[in-house]
Structure 1
């Protein structure tokens, strides 16, 4: 095999892409696999999809470790990612300094682009926030739901809506051409998720998977993590 197989939350796709060339230089391997809703990625592993390395939420990695699907000694935190608002590059930023202004921003939007509201970290949270703001029914017809945040952001970037808004992981917004970060969700509606890497119990390339983990978590790679939207844990 000439590739390291990865199953990862969409939040880490940009960061992995940033270190891919250095990883190949060190190992000779490309990185292939799936990036998407963390719940869906965990189920792929459980259902037998080959994978050498996972990057999922810390809580989900801990669950998979208890299930014997990842090596506990390999677990390493990559960083913390905020759920945030997004707009198209050509649109003005949306201000949401508190719950009231966030509610107003969602109500003003004629299309709301979000990831899977049942399987993705950000999507599940968006659904909770809309309910908390008591506007879930009012905006239900405007929700544009996609399998992951990256896909949602690509569709928002090309949308012909007049006032679209997006809500997903900050890393996915930063990594998508045509969209820009409009700020984290305000206190009381916010979410910051720790993403963690681990080597699977059936890894074919365990040594190379550890090299990738080291690249993603190294102290001297902090600037790459920050640029990709990862905050220190």
Structure 2
């Protein structure tokens, strides 16, 4: 049986997974593909990896449309995703109200789990925040970097460190067993990223790709998007 091929940022993995049964019931096909750092996914599309649909940041989708790899008219906003803090389930949650509090929490952690600091939305942001707080060098040996946020959160859940913490997109935290969404980043350090979906120009299943976009963005799925961690809505 054929499948709809997807290349997506990890931020959308939980939402796509929750909608897969409804998608299959409507179209009769499965969803296959990859979820990972948005920069890596975009480069896979550029290198010719087969994909019917991509779900990446709005800025990346716009660039891919300029490169004629995505059909501009099909691009639709899915919603905003925050970069947030995570702890192991059962550990005391941390809440920070300002940059000084975030600096203190990070310095007190003996292991910090983050996604790719060169290619992922959250990882790039974390690296910038550490520089801004003036602690990048001080915590470098405690920084545990993984290809994507989902992997970073699974490693946080399995960590035997005394006071570990994670920082990635809220959707990846929510969808990972063993970790808990602990709080947003404080003013001046926050990031909310709009994720969008679009059909590729080489799509083998454009009609089914549009069906998935309709599911991802439809008013009927507003609560589902919120449960998955999308804080903003296109409706």
TM-score by length of 2: 0.98
Say whether 1:213 aligns with 2:178.
no
Q: 1:65 aligns to what?
A: 65
Cα pair 1:2 1:28 within 8 Å, conserved: no
TM-score by length of 1: 0.99
Q: Offset at 1:232?
A: 1.9
Q: Offset at 1:95?
A: 1.6
Q: 1:197 aligns to what SS in structure 2? A: strand
User: 2: distance between equivalents of 1:123 and 1:75?
Assistant: 25
Cα pair 1:86 1:179 within 8 Å, conserved: yes
User: 1: distance between equivalents of 2:162 and 2:225?
Assistant: 33
Q: Offset at 1:90?
A: 1.2
User: 1: distance between equivalents of 2:114 and 2:71?
Assistant: 32
User: 2: distance between equivalents of 1:232 and 1:125?
Assistant: 19
User: 1: distance between equivalents of 2:90 and 2:232?
Assistant: 30
Q: 2:6 aligns to what SS in structure 1? A: strand
Q: Offset at 1:123?
A: 0.1
Q: 1:8 aligns to what?
A: 8
Unpaired stretches in structure 2, ≥5 consecutive residues: none
User: 2: distance between equivalents of 1:91 and 1:222?
Assistant: 31
Q: Offset at 1:231?
A: 1.7
Q: Offset at 1:107?
A: 0.3
Q: 2:179 aligns to what?
A: 179
User: 2: distance between equivalents of 1:95 and 1:173?
Assistant: 15
User: 1: distance between equivalents of 2:31 and 2:111?
Assistant: 34
Q: Offset at 1:220?
A: 1.1
Q: 1:32 aligns to what?
A: 32
Q: 2:193 aligns to what?
A: 193
Count how many residue pairs are aligned between Structure 1 and Structure 2: 233
Q: 2:22 aligns to what SS in structure 1? A: helix
User: 2: distance between equivalents of 1:130 and 1:149?
Assistant: 17
Q: Offset at 1:200?
A: 0.2
Q: 1:220 aligns to what SS in structure 2? A: helix
Q: 2:129 aligns to what SS in structure 1? A: helix
Moved over 2 A (4+): none
Q: 1:226 aligns to what?
A: 226
User: 2: distance between equivalents of 1:126 and 1:134?
Assistant: 12
Cα pair 1:114 1:149 within 8 Å, conserved: yes
After TM superposition, the structure 1 = structure 2 runs for residues 72-83 of structure 1, keeping only pairs within 5 Å, are: 72-83=72-83
